[in-house]
Structure 1
Amino acid sequence: MIAMQYSLVLPADYDMGIIDRRIAERGHFTDGFPGLAFKAYLHARKQGIPASSDNLYAPFYLWHTTEGMNEFLCGAGFQGLTQSFGWPSVRTWSVWHAQMSREIAGARYALRETLQIPPHADLAALRRAESAGSREMLSSRDVLATLAGFDPTNWCLIRFQLWDKVPDRRSDGQMQVYDVGHVSTG
């Protein structure tokens, strides 16, 4: 499995209703996409609740296969995004653990946390601990999906969850809370 996200930082005075309409009109296009576990259409508002430091449009994907990811990135949907918003940097993470509840489509919020991996860390122990923490998160009745993974290029780990209510979490890393406009599953 591979996780993927691109984040578009939009101007402070950007009409975020444009993003809401885009999600409402196009979100269903990735329902049933081959190789996709889920796509969460994420956005955050500078003036939102919870407030973000920037206006963002930042879809997050969990892929069963790299073939599905490549089909999407080389396809018309991503091409349409790049024509509207420019060419984003696409981050990817190798997934150590991922689980979804059957109620994933009801997600209203997402939380993405990234943390630096210390040099020469015991990656096997870190993988066990992060995978266990991810499994434990799904036991919360408010968490609808959870993921733990890492990026060996930048040596950081990722924790990602979809929630049905605003997450009440303290961070020991870099955290972003998003609103979820739609969730597609493969």
Structure 2
Amino acid sequence: MQAMQYQVTLPTDYDMQIIRDRTTNNGCKTDLFPGLLFKAYLITERKEGAISNSYAPFYVWQDSEGMNKFIFSGFFDNILKSFGWQQIGIGITSTVDLSPDFLRSKYLVEEYQPIEPQLSLTKVPITAQRKANELGKVLIYNPDKWQLVTFTFLEDKPLSGQKVYEILHISPGKNLNSWQK
């Protein structure tokens, strides 16, 4: 499985209701997208204490075929037309732990941890379990950047975290239920 995310940084005075309306009107278009486990429509808002306004959807793909279809068969063109050329960050999933209530998630905390140079990678913690108050946890690693990224899904707004997003919508893939435990 692969994860992907692109982050569109928006001007400080950008009306974030535009993104909210866009998600309300179009978010369901990625529901059950082939090869998708789920897509979380994420935003940050300056007025809520974030460094900037942003739109930063996060995808977990069951296979590269679905991801390739999304990127190269015209679906990603909507992003290019609306926001211009965007870099897509790709990571390899090492943990996907989703509760049966995963779709109730309203916030996502994204936390980075560097993987320092070492003689053996056997002690690098590439697994994680969600805690009682967490609706989901996804851990990815990026060997091109040597970092681990943990995505924690919550129903209630967290008091802290490296980066906190509001989730506007989660598009489930057709096999999402088989990943919920």
TM value normalised by structure 1: 0.88
Shift of 1:123: 2.3
Partner residue in 1 for 2:69: 71
Query: Hey, which bits of structure 1, 4+ residues long, moved more than 4 A?
Result: none
Secondary structure of 1:89's partner? coil
Q: Aligned in 2, Cα 1:25/1:121: closer, same or farther, shift over 3 Å?
A: farther
Shift of 1:75: 3.0
Q: Aligned in 2, Cα 1:169/1:123: closer, same or farther, shift over 3 Å?
A: farther
What count of residue pairs does the alignment treat as equivalent? 173
Equivalences for residues 110-129 of structure 1 within 5 A: 110-120=108-118, 122-126=120-124, 129=125
For residues 13 and 73 of structure 2, what CA distance do their matches in structure 1 show? 30
Structure 2 alignment gaps of length 5 or more: 174-181
Kindly provide the CA deviation profile for residues 103-157 of structure 1, in whole angstroms up to 9, marking residues without a partner as x. Answer: 221110001111221112642221xx341xx21xx232x3111111210111111
More helix by share: 1
Tell whether 2:5 aligns with 1:13.
no
Identity value in percent: 35
Q: Is the contact between residue 97 and residue 148 of structure 1 (CA under 8 Å) also seen in structure 2? A: yes
Q: Is the contact between residue 126 and residue 141 of structure 2 (CA under 8 Å) also seen in structure 1? A: no
- Alpha carbon RMSD of aligned pairs, Å? 1.3
Q: Is the contact between residue 5 and residue 89 of structure 2 (CA under 8 Å) also seen in structure 1? A: yes
Secondary structure of 2:156's partner? coil
For residues 98 and 55 of structure 2, what CA distance do their matches in structure 1 show? 22
TM value normalised by structure 2: 0.91
Partner residue in 1 for 2:168: 181
For residues 51 and 164 of structure 2, what CA distance do their matches in structure 1 show? 10
